[in-house]
């Protein structure tokens, strides 16, 4: 219900979080079905950068795939190979998966669908390798995971060469120089203009949990003055 409502509300895309969200992988398919035809693209954040997880959500019909904790070129290459068919990658091909209408809409030869591969930059190491990761063929978006990146900067200060703001600039410049897109999750819509100026193109705002929590708290606070 939440997926359907979010998609019908006019968002360009929605993210299904299999890394931190409470829904299991089995719950993904009905959510993808719920937003079909809404105009909102389905981006699935897999639980880990594992080839089987990446290939499966693409077979199920994810428009694009977001992959957490991509910190090195080798990790990025493994993710790209998992998402692409030969000769670029190692993804297995089947005409009857949901992405191809269970066999009703198989792709024409040489016209396989192009899904965006969004590599999440969430560690000090990932920031330092952002330029090389962005230059890889098959990586389309560098997507900053702000909570993990901030946590890593605080947890390992001796390894940090720059503060959080400088890390964002480093990633944005790396993406722009490679002709790639750059994204981030934000909690406050007021941050949108400044991030736009920094060339962040893919901006995810809030989560369903936060929206519900804030709405409930607002109701409770509003009734607080009426309590005896």
- Catalytic site residues? 20
Helix (H) or strand (E) holding 117: strand 117-121
Sheet of 141-144: strand order equals 13-17, 41-45, 64-67, 117-121, 141-144, 181-186, 202-205
- In sequence order, the β-bridge partners of residue 118 are 66, 141
User: Token pair 């024409």 is at which residue?
Assistant: 108
End-to-end, the C-alpha distance of the chain in Å comes to 36
User: Closest Cα to residue 53, out of 69, 37, 72?
Assistant: 69
CA–CA gap between residue 63 and residue 40 (Å, rounded): 10
Please tell me what DSSP assigns to residue 89. Answer: -
User: Closest Cα to residue 28, out of 38, 18, 36, 19?
Assistant: 18
User: Closest Cα to residue 182, out of 198, 200, 160?
Assistant: 200
User: Closest Cα to residue 187, out of 219, 209, 210, 217?
Assistant: 210
């Amino acid at each position: 219900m939440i997926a359907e409502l979010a998609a019908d509300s006019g968002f360009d895309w929605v993210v299904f979080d299999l890394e931190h969200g409470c829904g299991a992988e089995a719950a993904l398919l009905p959510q993808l079905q719920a937003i079909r035809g809404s105009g909102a693209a389905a981006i699935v954040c897999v639980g880990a950068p594992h080839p089987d997880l990446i290939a499966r959500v693409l077979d199920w019909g994810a428009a694009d795939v977001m992959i957490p904790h991509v910190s090195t070129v080798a990790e990025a290459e493994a993710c790209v190979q998992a998402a692409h068919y030969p000769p670029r990658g190692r993804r297995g091909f089947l005409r009857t998966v949901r992405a191809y209408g269970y066999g009703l809409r198989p792709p024409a030869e040489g016209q396989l669908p192009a899904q965006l591969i969004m590599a999440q930059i969430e560690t000090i190491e990932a920031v330092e390798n952002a330029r090389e990761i962005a230059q890889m063929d098959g990586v389309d978006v560098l997507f900053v995971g702000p909570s993990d990146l901030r946590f890593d900067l605080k947890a390992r200060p001796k390894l940090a060469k720059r503060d959080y703001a400088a890390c964002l600039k480093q990633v944005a410049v790396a993406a722009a120089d490679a002709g790639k897109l750059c994204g981030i999750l934000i909690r406050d819509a007021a941050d949108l203009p400044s991030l736009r100026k920094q060339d962040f193109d893919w901006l995810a705002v809030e989560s369903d949990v936060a929206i519900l929590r804030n709405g409930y708290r607002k109701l409770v606070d509003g009734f607080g003055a009426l309590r005896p």
